[in-house]
Each structure stands twice: as structure tokens, then as C-alpha cells.
């Protein structure tokens, strides 16, 4: 059986698919394709593509470098959140609202930045004990919304689509349950 490591170039055995390994678990490998999307694939469905050790190291460094840049951009972004009169924090996750220079970013980098920003907002709201957040994510293909829903499930939150009359169909309201938060921290 192949031993996969971060930076290895892989291809699927039965499908036309190539990418670079960015994570390895017992049975699965996380692979980033040329469009910068990540896929979790069973090890038995993958095989290594021959590349030199120098190429592997370059891939590893590029992945680490891109993630460090995104983390730095998020930390620079000030999170000055204040609830409106109804106690709601509104957060627009459209990329042009988060960073000014986004034109040269890949889809993966943009998505990662948006999700990490949402995570920071949730953490801040938990610390400040705010109870309602509206994330404006837009409609698109639903990729950001599905990533946000996976993030929300990690916290003591309830979430649902917002009032269509106010936000359209591209927003999700999040309720932070203080009761659930207390029971998780006991």
C-alpha cells in the first residue's frame, strides 16, 4: 500500500483527478486539486504520481505559505462588532468586504478567509456574550454556506435561514445558546 505524505502528488486510480496531499489520516487522504479545492478521498482509491523530492518540498512550502498569509490577513482585520438596536451582529462575508486585494486569490483562499473570519466572529461573540449573529454569505453555489454550517455545528449554536424580506436568501441567522454554552463548559 502507498504511504502518503503531505506534499505528495497523487492521482485517483479509477477517475481523472490529480492533486497534492495536504492531510493524511488512518483511512483517508485530503487532497487539494489544481483549482484549490480540498477533497477527502479513501487511501485505497489513490496512487502516487512520480515527482522529485525537490518538487514535494516546494508543494509543502507553498501550502504552508498560503495558510500563513491568510492567517495574517485575518489577524489584521479589526473585529469591532456592535449589536444593532435589536441585539443582532451583522457580518457580511463577501470577500470584497473582508479584504481589499482579493483579485489574485484562489477560490480556496477566499473560502478559507471567509470561514476563518466567521470563526473569529463566533469566538468574539461567545466571549462578549452576544446572542445573535447574521452572516451574509450570498447565494452562489452554496459552498460557503455549507462550510459555515459545518463550522456552526462545532459550537453551542442554533442556525437557520434569515427573514427573506430583510436579507434575501443569502444569509443565515445564528443564535448563541447561553444554556448550552454553560453546560459545555462545566
Q: Tell which phi-psi region holds residue 144, choosing left (phi > 0), alpha (psi between -120 and 50) or beta.
A: alpha
Domain of residue 43, CATH code: 2.30.30
Q: Please report whether residue 1 resides in a domain.
A: no
Q: Give dist(CA 126, CA 176) in Å, integer.
A: 7
The 10s digit of each residue's pLDDT in 2-22 is: 688 888 888 888 788 889 999
DSSP reduced 3-state for 77 = coil
Displacement of CA 186 from its chain's centroid (Å):
28
The 10s digit of each residue's pLDDT in 135-177 is: 999 888 889 999 999 999 999 899 999 988 888 889 999 999 7
Q: Please report whether residue 3 resides in a domain.
A: no
Domain that holds residue 27: 9-67
**So what's the pLDDT on residue 4?**
87
Choose the final residue of a domain: 35, 67, 99.
67
pTM listed for this prediction: 0.58
Question: Which strand ranges, in their side-by-side order, compose the sheet holding 132-136?
Answer: 88-92, 132-136, 171-176, 157-161
Structural domains counted in the chain: 2
Same domain, 110 and 62: no
Q: Give dist(CA 178, CA 131) in Å, integer.
A: 8
Amino acid at each position: 500500500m502507498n504511504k502518503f505524505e503531505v506534499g505528495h502528488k497523487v492521482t485517483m486510480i479509477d477517475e481523472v483527478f490529480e492533486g497534492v496531499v495536504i492531510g493524511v489520516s488512518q483511512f483517508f487522504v485530503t487532497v487539494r486539486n489544481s483549482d484549490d479545492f480540498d477533497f477527502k478521498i479513501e487511501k485505497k482509491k489513490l496512487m502516487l504520481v512520480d515527482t522529485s523530492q525537490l518538487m514535494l518540498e516546494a508543494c509543502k512550502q507553498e501550502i504552508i505559505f498560503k495558510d500563513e498569509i491568510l492567517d495574517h490577513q485575518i489577524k489584521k482585520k479589526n473585529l469591532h462588532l456592535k449589536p444593532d438596536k435589536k441585539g443582532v451582529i451583522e457580518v457580511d462575508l463577501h470577500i470584497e468586504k473582508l479584504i481589499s486585494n482579493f483579485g489574485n486569490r484562489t477560490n480556496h483562499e477566499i473560502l478559507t478567509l471567509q470561514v476563518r473570519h466567521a470563526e473569529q466572529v463566533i469566538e468574539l461573540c461567545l466571549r462578549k456574550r452576544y446572542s445573535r449573529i447574521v452572516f451574509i454569505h450570498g447565494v452562489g453555489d452554496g459552498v460557503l454556506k455549507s462550510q459555515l454550517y459545518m463550522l456552526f455545528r462545532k459550537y453551542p449554536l442554533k442556525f437557520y435561514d434569515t427573514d427573506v424580506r430583510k436579507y434575501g436568501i443569502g444569509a443565515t441567522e445564528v443564535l448563541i445558546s447561553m444554556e448550552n454554552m454553560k453546560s459545555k463548559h462545566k
